[in-house]
Amino acid sequence: MEDQNKKPEETNGFTYDQEKRDDPYADVRRESAPYTFGPFGPNQSYDTNGQSNPDQPARALDVTPTSTKEYRPFTVSGGPARNDWGNKPPRRTSFRAIFASFLVGVLVVGGLMFTADRQNWFSSELLGGTTQVKDTSVKAASNPIANTSDIVRPNNIATIFKQSSPAVVKIETFANAPKSSGGGMLDDDFFRQFFGDDSGSSRGGNNDDSKGELQPNGMGSGFIFDSTGYILTNQHVIAGAKEIKVTIEGYEKPLVAQLLGSSYELDLAVLKIEGKEFPTLKLGDSSSLNMGDWVVAIGNPYGFEHTITVGVLSSNERKISIQDTAGTRNYEHLLQTDASINPGNSGGPLLNLKGEVIGINTAVSTQAQGIGFAIPTSTITEVLEQLKSNTKIPQKPAPFIGASLTDVTADIAKRLGLDLETKGSFVTEVLFNTPAYKGDLRQYDVITGIDNTSYNTSTDLIAAIKKKSVGDKVALNVLRGEKKIDVTVEIGDKNEFQTPTK
């Protein structure tokens, strides 16, 4: 009830100032007001109970819309008002169009990537990259071999083979056929009258091996390094040959070759064929190669003529030893490569990417794959002139005593009547006119040391001898039966003796 009796101006505890305030903008505000106050205008009269007085004449209110603010219907953000809710939604993009756009993008990007790779956009000097390397090689026939290096592999292998292959030759050797040692049917006089004296072994011991029938003895490779017919190959390719024939590409028949000079120690030989204007290969510098550089081998492995294999230089300065019927070949300064080298490749060239010879293919490891060896041109060029002129090649002194040795075993010690625990080197043979022979070292002696220094194995003893200098005198501590004696021996040079020994 109290609320109903309150005056309007005291509503909610607030009073309003009924005094008319001085408002200079009142007229302007009234003229621009866009809204009215509803049915109760500002001049509507009220009675004491808060009811409107209808008897009072209502004043007409002129409402003038403002021109300063534009009101629009409520619209979706980012677009105009839509009143077409009943219409169909806009058509979506089809999958075919999306897929076509994807394919176009792939083609464009792929084309750009291919062009950038082929044109070398991202490795040009302007972008700070590496430039494409171009090497030019000159063959002895003055035909250059261009080498454009590729990221994966060299791309001029076919060119190298085409220009180098004609200078690579196949070498075939022939030796005397083995003759019957006697006791055969053809040694009987009765059969001789039917087959002639030329059959079997001739009587009187006057048969000449050089006149016997020749049979194939071996096969290898080589290459022409001089247009007048000089050929370089391995010594083991032509060892023991009575006749040497060379097959050259483009020639109908093999040519007979003459052996000019050879070196067993270096495993090198030079042959000569008659003719001129032969295709040649240039000797390059093997010392300029780096590990991992590409190399090319050409030869006749197992008779497959002009076979090319490709690899890299795996290492250099390798040392290996190979036993053969004539002794032990001790190789030094060899190049190692994983280019395939097989029997028949021996004597063939190992080339760099300029088409230059940097080595002669010589050996391959039989216990592994991809381990081949070549004699470097740095070794070849030092002795090439001596080989061509058949001049003796100066050799490094090789200290030796001239005896064949083996380790003393318990069985050998028992047979010699020695203590079974005896250690040393058993002398199986003393070669004639060697330092051991001259010093009175005998077969079946046991060498226990040198100058009172014990060596329990023949390997240790030989190593100690090789450390000596030619001309040094040493005292060999020897067991001869039950006696202990010293045998004085002057160290000799193995190169002065034709028969290889330890």
Residues known to be catalytic = 236, 267, 346
Q: How many CB atoms lie within 10 A of CB 232?
A: 25
CA dihedral 20, 22, 28, 29 (to 10 degrees): -60
Q: Phi and psi (nearest 5°) for 183?
A: 90, -5
Decide if 273 contacts 228 (C-beta within 8 A): no
Token pair listed for 244: 């040497």
Q: Is residue 234 a contact partner of residue 298, using CB atoms and an 8 Å limit?
A: no
The token pair at 97 is 């169009």
How far is the C-alpha of 249 from the C-alpha of 375, rounded, in Å? 24
Q: For the chain, how big is the Rg over CA atoms in Å?
A: 53
* C-alpha distance from residue 296 to each of 121, 215, 279 (Å): 31, 33, 18
Place of tokens 């050996």: 363
DSSP letters of 322-381?
Answer: EEETTEEEEEEEEEEE-S---TT-TT-EEE-TTS-EEEEEEEE-TTSSS-EEEEEHHHHH
* Strands, E assignment, 384-451: 399-400, 403-407, 425-430, 446-450
- Which contacts qualify for 385-389: CB closer than 8 Å, 24 or more apart? 386/261, 387/260, 387/261, 387/262, 387/263, 387/268, 387/269, 387/270, 388/230, 388/260, 388/261, 388/270, 389/260, 389/261
Residue identified by tokens 């200078």 is 167
Please state, in angstroms and rounded to a whole number, the distance separating the CA atoms of residues 491 and 471: 5
CB distance 345 to 357 below 8 Å: no
User: Whole-angstrom Cα distance, residue 173 to residue 236?
Assistant: 11
- Residue tagged 């028969």 (tokens): 499
Q: Where is 24: in which H helix or E strand?
A: none
Are residues 354 and 137 in contact, defined by beta-carbon separation less than 8 angstroms?
Answer: yes
